[in-house]
Chain A
Amino acid sequence: MHPAPSVIIFTTLSGLGFGLLFFLGLGLPDVSGWVAFVFFAIAYALAVGGLMASTFHLGHPERAWKAFTQWKTSWLSREGWCAVLALIVMGLYGLGVIFLGQRWGLLGWLGSLFSLATVFTTSMIYTQLKTIPRWNMKLTPAMFLSFSLAGGALLAGQSAVALPLLLVAALVQILYWRQGDRAFGASGTDLGTATGLGQRGAVRAFEPPHTGTNYLLREFVHVVGRKHAEKLRVIAFGLAFVLPLVLLVLPFNHVFALLAVLSHLAGVATSRWLFFAQAEHVVGLYYGKR
């Protein structure tokens, strides 16, 4: 898949932002006034910034509001609803915390729930696609959720929670890569089933339909970035998990905390880049490509 910057920015930033909102809704950290304002501002900047970025790749962003209509079948529509509900509920909750010194617990819980639901629905947009075996796995939502929670805990300054959550996210990442590498082969789809000619012998793409490129090849067949995938995995893993864990174990220091968050963010962005670049769409088979 073409690793469009808009979706990488969106899933990375929004994941982190809604992760932070999840913890703020639970009252972690239990802050009020200006400190709370800063926490909420960061969470909203990340969550809303990511959502805005996701509209950049639309052909008609001005019609984006229509995406709220099909929640019965479409995960993208459900994601829109969850995001708006999470932002409204957490906004009300934030008003209480920041300006009124009130912590409306139930509202916070509800906001946390919608925040997590937003991350889950985002992950389901990818997970539902049978056409991309590497995404069509239960580990995909597990990865999005564990990343969001670990990043949120890190941003919320909850070291005690962030430590185990980072370890869980790291484990999920490794499992995701392991299973993902086998997913296409295990899906049973090849050029034989794609053309229905597999029973007759070995099928080979002989001539493409055209000499140039097209939308399908640009969108679904991205081979360039895969060359350095192994190195990028090491970089992503080191930045997203190893370095933040080391920094967490060291004696607390605001510079270390900031470094841990930035390192985690860069690592998750790299991992997300690989998430797209390494995903192989079955339509590539028709072109003799992966």
Chain B
Amino acid sequence: MTQLPQSTERKMGLVIDLDTCVGCHACVISCKGWNTENYGAPLSDQDAYGSNPSGTFLNRVHSYEVQPEQGHAQLIHFPKSCLHCEDAPCVTVCPTGASYKRVEDGIVLVNESDCIGCGLCAWSCPYGARELDQAEGVMKKCTLCVDRIYNDNLPEVDRIPSCVRTCPAGARHFGDLGDPDSDVSKLVAERGGMDLMPEMGTKPVNKYLPPRPKDTVEEQIDILAPLLAPVAEEPKGFLGWLDKTLEKL
């Protein structure tokens, strides 16, 4: 049913650290790989090796430049996937009941055999989290790797979403954001985790950790200068004699 649950037992989601992300796109590739080979229809590409390639991705990394009033501009890499909103507009607009939000963990999923590919859910999503697969004609979205996180056939260390497992910088964290004592909730509290487009009223579960301030220009520009000062003292012995003799010449 496309009625949203009153509340969910857990709120599984991601915490994405904009301070740490280096913009390597490894999460994009691992997501595409895992989700092409596993749950649901594969993520197709069109004209993959031609002049106008395009394809379905559940996770994409943007890069933004922020120019403060004073000081240097900062470049911020910005991974974006489904935020598994508490008040997910994509679920309620679905005419067939293909879109749903799970009561047990809050994950928003698409039942592909019910999806008619009308695209209305993608229209209703402010974040661009849903893409209609051009080959299958059904809506694809992040499943929070529902086929990994509960998968007993995988080693325990791999039972997290593919993007989180892959991130070489540790910029992505996975956990229960409904539990205030979970690691991810503590991280959000400590770092001031934020919602994207809060004015849309979607109440995203995924949180973004703002980048720490960087490139602050101090009074003393060369902070390494004290460390680089010559440490050699007055030469003694033969070198001292040589030094003095050469000075006199």
A residues in contact (CB < 8 Å) with B: 1, 57-61, 63-64, 66-70, 72-77, 80, 125, 128-132, 187-189, 191, 193-197, 200-210, 212-216, 219-220, 281-283, 286-287
Complex A-B: 18 CB contacts under 8 Å: A59-B139, A74-B93, A128-B124, A130-B89, A193-B197, A194-B126, A194-B196, A196-B196, A197-B64, A205-B62, A206-B63, A209-B57, A209-B61, A210-B57, A214-B60, A215-B54, A282-B126, A286-B127
**Residue among B56, B75, B124 with the most chain A CB within 10 A?**
B124
Residue of A nearest to B114 (CB): A66
Contacts of A187 in B (CB 8 A): 199
Contacts of A282 in B (CB 8 A): 126, 197, 200
- The answer to whether the Cβ of B55 comes within 8 Å of any Cβ in the partner chain is yes
Q: Assess the A212–B52 pair: CB atoms within 8 A.
A: yes
Q: Assess the A59–B117 pair: CB atoms within 8 A.
A: yes
The stretch that binds A, out of B129-137, B163-171, B181-189, B229-237, is B129-137
Q: A129-B124, A197-B18, A210-B60 are in contact. List 11 more A-B contacts (CB 8 A).
A: A60-B138, A63-B96, A68-B95, A69-B97, A130-B89, A131-B123, A195-B64, A197-B64, A204-B67, A216-B131, A286-B127
Q: Assess the B1–A70 pair: CB atoms within 8 A.
A: yes
Q: Kindly state the separation between the CA atoms of A128 and B91 in the bound complex, as whole angstroms.
A: 13
Q: Assess the B66–A60 pair: CB atoms within 8 A.
A: no
A60 with B69, Cβ < 8 A, contacts A189-B200, A206-B63, A219-B122 known: no
Indicate which residue in A59, A67, A195 contacts B136 across the interface (CB closer than 8 Å). A59
A283 with B68, Cβ < 8 A, contacts A63-B96, A213-B54 known: no
Q: Kindly state the separation between the CA atoms of A97 and B206 in the bound complex, as whole angstroms.
A: 59
Q: How many residues of B contact A (CB 8 A)?
A: 70
Q: Assess the B120–A76 pair: CB atoms within 8 A.
A: yes
Q: Assess the A74–B117 pair: CB atoms within 8 A.
A: no
A125 with B66, Cβ < 8 A, contacts A193-B199, A216-B131 known: no
The 5 nearest A-B residue pairs measured at CB:
A59-B117, A59-B137, A209-B60, A201-B68, A67-B95
Q: Assess the B96–A70 pair: CB atoms within 8 A.
A: yes
| Contact flags B195-226 to A (C-beta < 8 A → 1, else 0) | 11111110000001011000000000000000
A197 with B76, Cβ < 8 A, contacts A57-B119, A76-B120, A129-B123 known: yes
